[in-house]
Chain A
Amino acid sequence: MDINSVRSQFPIFSKKINGKSLIYLDSSNSSQKPLSVINALDNFYKNEFSNVGRSIHSLAVNATNKFDETRMSVKNFINASSKEEIIFTKNATESINLVASTFGQQNIKKGDEILITELEHHSNYVPWHYLREYKGAIIKFIPINDDGDIVIEKIKELITSKTKIIAITHLSNVTGTIVPIKEIVEIAHKKNIPVLVDGCQSAPHIKIDVKDLDCDFYAISCHKVYGPTGVGILYAKKKWLETLPPYIGGGGMINEVKKNKITYAPSPEKYEAGTMPTAEVVAFNESIKFMQSIGIENIVRHEKELTNYALEKLKKINSVNIIGNPKNKAGVISFTIEGIHPHDISTIVDEDGVAIRAGHHCCQILHERLNLTATARASIGIYNNKEDIDVLCNAIENCRKVFNLK
């Protein structure tokens, strides 16, 4: 893989930040976009725009076809059984809310239990909290160890006859832990418990095969997968899409509407009410093509190599503390520096053009578990190279200088 040719596909890297080259290490937050995706958005609005699934004029037919092509690409990208199992949403947050709401409505009653983990992003906790608040459900947390790995044995202990669903991240946005989903799904399915996987961080960085994982639901945010904002994906096994109630009501999701009765369209339309982010969905097809043009194996190899390089270099810097040491770690590196608050780190490295994130990264439960209020996080994307890591490390050294640390 030629990293320079990958990087050159991203126009933003020709821009200067504070007079310096951009060192973008905030891909866990959102990824930058290749030119092909930007052009696809531009082209759709300039030459092809129409709403989809309604009108029968030529533009509408073309737009509908293109919209559907992305659905097919997503199906292949994650190895779903059929494209009807792919629902477009606003983002992964909405995907998880969709499941929590509809599954909860149908299957959760007072005293029922939901298992999540201490690693979860707020978007895979708050939607389940609603069921605790409105339905009297109980949320139990699968613990992690100090390395940031999930304690798998605890799952068996926590499962009871009241456990109705397990919701779990595939890849932590703080520790970079890659969670053994397949193993957890096996444990859950032995007890007939469905599993929702938050795939926000995993989709851009590791191979996703929902058939192999055998999970029931899988949520993805397209803007993290080199795609446009405003689009998310929910994969759900067909049996769930056929049996769960609809979510948002409106145009496009109905079969027939009478004064006294409404019937709903089959999936995926059943879950895609109202006008969708049409141009964004169409453009997302280019993101998948971009990923496929590099090859997921190459992506994994490049990012693993860079992560190891970064970890080695960071560990050599005095007073830098890396958060978590999971068995299987992706390119998400959270750290603290003794004597410097993460917000100060972020402001100081920004002067060198280095974009990292500081804060709790929407994981307050995890930070509390690790006795931290905030961390700094450098997260890697396919466009990063060793020079980026070198600049980051120099910028961190500069933090220590600004703070007069020895």
Chain B
Amino acid sequence: MDLKELYKDIILEHGKSPRNFGKCEKYTHKAKGYNPLCGDKVEVYLRLNREKKVENLTFEGSGCAISVASTSIMTELVKGKSTETAKKIVKDFLNMVKNTSKIESDDLDEDQKTKIMSLSDVNQYPMRVKCATLAWHTLTSAIEGKKEEVNTEAID
């Protein structure tokens, strides 16, 4: 396995300069995620409008390149989608990094598919899957209004 497959330039770039970083104004939902294996933490802030559309999605936290890039890419892809679509994309992403390396969704355009697929090689590194999935589980938790912190040891 070539390390550049895992650490593609797009991942390094998002890892270094994450998009949508910080606390967004007037967020309606938030959730915390924690990976006890490495101590990484993420907090996502979500603003939904009346039609349950994601108006804004941002995050705070620290982590490895995989986890920061994955979170950054997630915020870009989910912004503007309905919560129903967002949940489908999360499911599709989790299936990709854990099982298939493929994206089935019709909800993403070609450019977005390329972005999400940049994380597909994570599934060749079983110990790193949780780095990639933490924020996505945390997003689901925010959408569903769950109070307890997401813990990668309890869900994956």
A348 to B7, CA, bound (A): 9
- Among listed A27-35, A275-283, A301-309, A337-345, interface-contacting one: A337-345
- Among listed A102-110, A189-197, A288-296, A357-365, interface-contacting one: A357-365
Query: For chain A residues 182-223, which have a beta carbon within 8 Å of chain B?
Result: none
A342 to B37, CA, bound (A): 12
Q: In the complex the two chains form, is B6's CB within 8 Å of A347's CB?
A: yes
Residues of B within 8 A of A351 (CB): 1, 3
Q: Would you call B40 an interface residue if the criterion is a C-beta within 8 Å of the partner chain's C-beta atoms?
A: yes
Q: In the complex the two chains form, is B62's CB within 8 Å of A402's CB?
A: no
Query: For chain A residues 358-384, which have a beta carbon within 8 Å of chain B?
Result: 358-360, 364, 367, 373-374
A173 to chain B, nearest CB (A): 15
Query: For chain A residues 58-106, which have a beta carbon within 8 Å of chain B?
Result: none
- Among listed B63-71, B90-98, B100-108, B141-149, interface-contacting one: B63-71
**What 0/1 readout, one digit per residue, does chain B (110-145) give for beta carbons within 8 Å of chain A?**
000000000000000101100100000000000000
Query: For chain B residues 1-24, which have a beta carbon within 8 Å of chain A?
Result: 1, 3-4, 6-7, 9, 12, 16
Residues of A within 8 A of B4 (CB): 402
**What 0/1 readout, one digit per residue, does chain A (390-406) give for beta carbons within 8 Å of chain B?**
00000000000011100
A339 to chain B, nearest CB (A): 7
**What 0/1 readout, one digit per residue, does chain B (19-61) give for beta carbons within 8 Å of chain A?**
0000000000000000001111100000000000000000000
Q: In the complex the two chains form, is B6's CB within 8 Å of A358's CB?
A: no
Q: In the complex the two chains form, is B39's CB within 8 Å of A364's CB?
A: yes
Given A359-B37, A402-B7, A403-B7, A347:B128 Cβ within 8 A: yes
The one of B6, B9, B16, B39 that contacts A374, using a Cβ cutoff of 8 Å: B39
Residues of B within 8 A of A403 (CB): 7, 12, 65
Residues of B within 8 A of A343 (CB): 38, 64, 66, 128, 131
- Number of residues from A at the complex interface, CB < 8 A: 19
Q: In the complex the two chains form, is B65's CB within 8 Å of A344's CB?
A: yes
Residues of A within 8 A of B66 (CB): 343-344
Given A374-B38, A374-B39, A404:B12 Cβ within 8 A: yes
Listed by A's residue number, 21 A-B pairs whose Cβ atoms lie within 8 Å are A341-B63, A341-B65, A342-B38, A342-B64, A343-B38, A343-B64, A343-B66, A344-B64, A347-B125, A347-B128, A351-B3, A358-B38, A359-B39, A360-B39, A364-B39, A373-B41, A374-B38, A402-B3, A402-B4, A402-B7, A404-B12
Beyond the given A339-B16, A341-B65, A351-B1, could you list 16 further A-B residue pairs with CB under 8 A, ordered by the A residue number?
A341-B64, A342-B64, A343-B128, A343-B131, A347-B127, A348-B7, A351-B3, A358-B38, A360-B38, A367-B39, A374-B38, A374-B40, A402-B3, A402-B7, A403-B65, A404-B12
**3 tightest Cβ-Cβ pairs between the two chains A and B:** A341-B64, A343-B64, A373-B39
Residues on B facing A (Cβ under 8 Å): 1, 3-4, 6-7, 9, 12, 16, 37-41, 62-66, 125, 127-128, 131
Residues on A facing B (Cβ under 8 Å): 339-344, 347-348, 351, 358-360, 364, 367, 373-374, 402-404
